[in-house]
A and B are shown apart, each in its own frame.
Chain A
Amino acid sequence: MFIKDFINAITAPYFLITAAAILLLVSLKYPDKFYTSKSGAIVFACMFGFLGISVLDPNFRLIVTKADNVPIVGMLFLVPFFTWFALREAVRNDKRIAEGKPLVEQEETADKVLTWPDLVYTELICMVVLTVVLIGWSMALQAPLEEPANPSSSPNPSKAPWYFLGLQEMLVYFDPWLAGVVFPGLIIVGLMAIPYIDTNPKGNGYFTLRERRWEITTFLFGFLILWILLVILGTFLRGPNWNFFGPYEFWDIHKLEALVNVNLSEYIWVKGLGMGLPKNPIIREIFGFLVVLGYFLLIPPLLAKTWLKRFYQTLGPIRFHVMTFLLLAMTALPIKMVLRWLFNLKYIIGIPEYFFNI
């Protein structure tokens, strides 16, 4: 019981996301400690053990065995596995580079083999295995079909399809125009911009960490924490009214979460200056505008002079500013998360009259 309560407590979003982010950054700092065969074996044994023991719990079982959630359980294992795998390869290659030996891939690059049979057979085996897996899976697990559609009774929680749950999770922190439209758009644009922003010629065509530390850290933060983890959080840990529920918690529709979120304008005008809120929304939100504009306009030149100086020099102004804009947009999410967790901050700019809330 105690252990279950403990796990319920530490899977709370603020803890889970923070811990995962720290773990990721630390593991990238000391990759040769974290991404070894031994540590991989330990982690996966723990994960399987956790899953095996946890399914004994009825609440856990209910959510994990829900038909549409089964693939996400698979993803819960696949993504960490491939992360570990890619970084272990990277560590190996980095070691070889340091010793002046050829890369793992390089040993075979000069080797040209015939496509038939070497590749065609691998593909054939892959296809056969996959077909068997798909058919077995389909026989074991029925596709869900609920009550016929009824536009007048919405289920609680109403969830988007699972791959969009990361976006739905963003709705906790941002309004739909950002979480549902602008950020998805920026994710696509940002992904497309990667090859044009990243001008580092190294690390093309082989696994490496040391030669691309900055790029890989940024990408992994976005992909693992802000994408995959949020999908998993939205799938397994969000219940009725989009409230947080620990993995062993019963999904109680009446669970109440005190929501006393406060706008920045109130913090400053009412609590800080002891005045009332000004009528004119522009004046009311003036500090929010300053914060947001400052964030996007002042930080890049500052970074260009200090921390990211070498990037500014190698990338040139256009690439650099596109990159910092995208980065700042990405980090806006964790920043807003932290502000929410620490200060119950609702909106930095809040003009509901024009649906303009940030």
Chain B
Amino acid sequence: MANFKDWLKETFKALSPARVGEYIQESQVYRSIFRVGVPDSDRKRMLVMLGNVFLHLHPVKVRKSGIRMRYTWCMGGITFFLFLSLTFTGLLLMFYYRPTLEYAYVDIRDLREQVPLGIMREIHRWGAHAMVIAVWLHMYRVFMTGSYKPPREFNWNVGVILLVLTLLLSFTGYLLPWDQLAIWAITVGSNMARATPFAGHEGPGSALLKLGDIAFVNNQSDMRFALLGGRFVGEAALLRFYVLHCVGLPLVAGFLMAIHFWRIRRDGGISGPL
């Protein structure tokens, strides 16, 4: 009996959360993934930053003034996080959405009506709006702290391109629901391309580009046509915007973000007074 009691006690002890945690942390599987273990000492805290591919975006040590919310407003980080959320929810949306005139609108409608927990579209749309605002505020903060000054001139420029890409991502996505809001917003936006100097058929200078009677820049060969793949916002435009929105622009943006983050470290970390 006493033996059994002891045995029970031992078993309980062995199964207590703390012990189980230790077992797991000592197991070969765990050690093969997380080399450092629980970062409970300064040494381990540094090793963790070096050993993890995501965390190693950061340096091991940072200036205290640079990571203050008061200073960065956390806006670059928020932008990045929103970008990741948008990638994730966008991927889920791609399971359901087909970019054709026949299906586009119906698929979007069904997201709400047929798909369980159908708020992926909401998260994606509101996240996109929030990302635009966050990028603006991030640029605002970088300006107000003078962080574009040497040595960070180049990273500011990478940032400006990222800002443009963010707007283009949002713009191309706006068309995909294929409702009245979508096509008319894109029509208004892309009408501008018609007026590109020299390259749009209603732009200044385009009338000069002709040979005899043949105008080189007409409504089938101008900037707007190239953007939309047609003379109006139709199926070709939908496909073009879809491909750019889901593949082209995110790839370029992701690539530039990698450069942006790399440069932050190369330029001596988050800026601060000398």
**Chain A contact residues, CB within 8 Å of chain B:** 68, 71, 74-75, 78-79, 82, 86, 89-90, 103, 105-109, 111-120, 122-123, 126-127, 130-131, 134-135, 137-139, 141-151, 153-155, 158-164, 167-168, 175-177, 179-182, 188, 191-192, 194-196, 198, 200-208, 212, 216, 219, 223, 228, 354-356
Instruction: Give, as a whole number of angstroms, the nearest-CB distance from A272 to chain B.
Output: 26
Q: How distant is the Cα of A134 from the Cα of B123 in the complex, in angstroms?
A: 6
With A71-B129, A111-B64, A204-B149 known to touch, is A145 a contact of B179 (CB < 8 Å)? yes
With A114-B45, A135-B119, A158-B188 known to touch, is A216 a contact of B272 (CB < 8 Å)? no
Q: At the interface, yes or no: B232 with Cβ under 8 Å from chain A?
A: yes
Is the CB–CB distance between B187 and A158 below 8 Å? yes
Is the CB–CB distance between B147 and A89 below 8 Å? no
With A126-B74, A164-B189 known to touch, is A115 a contact of B62 (CB < 8 Å)? yes
Is the CB–CB distance between B171 and A142 below 8 Å? no
Q: At the interface, yes or no: B251 with Cβ under 8 Å from chain A?
A: no
Q: At the interface, yes or no: B145 with Cβ under 8 Å from chain A?
A: yes
Instruction: Give, as a whole number of angstroms, the nearest-CB distance from B129 to chain A.
Output: 4
Is the CB–CB distance between A137 and B143 below 8 Å? no
Interface contacts beyond A71-B130, A115-B61, A354-B205: sample of 10 additional A-B pairs, CB < 8 Å, sorted by A: A71-B133, A103-B273, A112-B64, A116-B46, A118-B62, A119-B58, A134-B130, A149-B182, A159-B184, A192-B157
Q: At the interface, yes or no: B49 with Cβ under 8 Å from chain A?
A: yes
Q: At the interface, yes or no: B170 with Cβ under 8 Å from chain A?
A: yes
Q: How distant is the Cα of A181 from the Cα of B204 in the complex, in angstroms?
A: 11
Give every chain A residue within 8 A of B68 (Cβ-Cβ).
105, 108
Is the CB–CB distance between A206 and B272 below 8 Å? yes
Is the CB–CB distance between A181 and B180 below 8 Å? no
Q: At the interface, yes or no: B233 with Cβ under 8 Å from chain A?
A: yes
Q: How distant is the Cα of A158 from the Cα of B246 in the complex, in angstroms?
A: 26
Q: Give 4 nearest A-B pairs by CB, closest first.
A: A180-B192, A138-B122, A195-B153, A176-B195
Q: How distant is the Cα of A62 from the Cα of B212 in the complex, in angstroms?
A: 55
Partner of A114, one of B42, B108, B147, B152: B42
Stretch in B9-17, B27-35, B77-85, B256-264 touching the partner:
B77-85
Give every chain B residue within 8 A of A354 (Cβ-Cβ).
204-205, 207
Is the CB–CB distance between A160 and B112 below 8 Å? no
Interface centre among B68, B119, B137, B184 (most CB of A within 10 A): B184
Q: At the interface, yes or no: B21 with Cβ under 8 Å from chain A?
A: no
Give every chain A residue within 8 A of B45 (Cβ-Cβ).
114-117
Partner of B167, one of A113, A144, A145, A163: A163
Instruction: Give, as a whole number of angstroms, the nearest-CB distance from A211 to chain B.
Output: 9
Give every chain A residue within 8 A of B178 (Cβ-Cβ).
148-149
Interface centre among A118, A149, A200, A202 (most CB of B within 10 A): A149
26 contacts between A and B (CB under 8 A): A105-B68, A109-B64, A114-B42, A114-B61, A116-B45, A134-B127, A137-B122, A138-B126, A161-B189, A164-B171, A176-B195, A176-B202, A177-B203, A181-B197, A188-B160, A191-B160, A195-B149, A195-B152, A196-B153, A205-B146, A205-B147, A205-B272, A206-B146, A219-B143, A354-B204, A354-B207
Q: How many residues of B contact A (CB 8 A)?
A: 99
Is the CB–CB distance between A203 and B146 below 8 Å? yes
Q: How distant is the Cα of A207 from the Cα of B119 in the complex, in angstroms?
A: 40
Give every chain B residue within 8 A of A71 (Cβ-Cβ).
126, 129-130, 133
Q: At the interface, yes or no: B60 with Cβ under 8 Å from chain A?
A: yes
Q: How distant is the Cα of A134 from the Cα of B59 in the complex, in angstroms?
A: 29
Interface centre among B67, B68, B69, B139 (most CB of A within 10 A): B67
With A130-B81, A143-B122 known to touch, is A355 a contact of B64 (CB < 8 Å)? no
Give every chain B residue within 8 A of A355 (Cβ-Cβ).
195, 202-204, 206-207
Q: At the interface, yes or no: B71 with Cβ under 8 Å from chain A?
A: yes
Q: How distant is the Cα of A154 from the Cα of B233 in the complex, in angstroms?
A: 12
With A205-B146, A206-B145, A207-B144 known to touch, is A137 a contact of B126 (CB < 8 Å)? yes
Partner of B140, one of A131, A144, A223: A223
Partner of B77, one of A126, A141, A219: A126
**Which residues of chain B (139-191) have a CB below 8 Å from chain A?**
139-141, 143-150, 152-153, 156-157, 160, 163-164, 167, 170-171, 174, 177-185, 187-189, 191
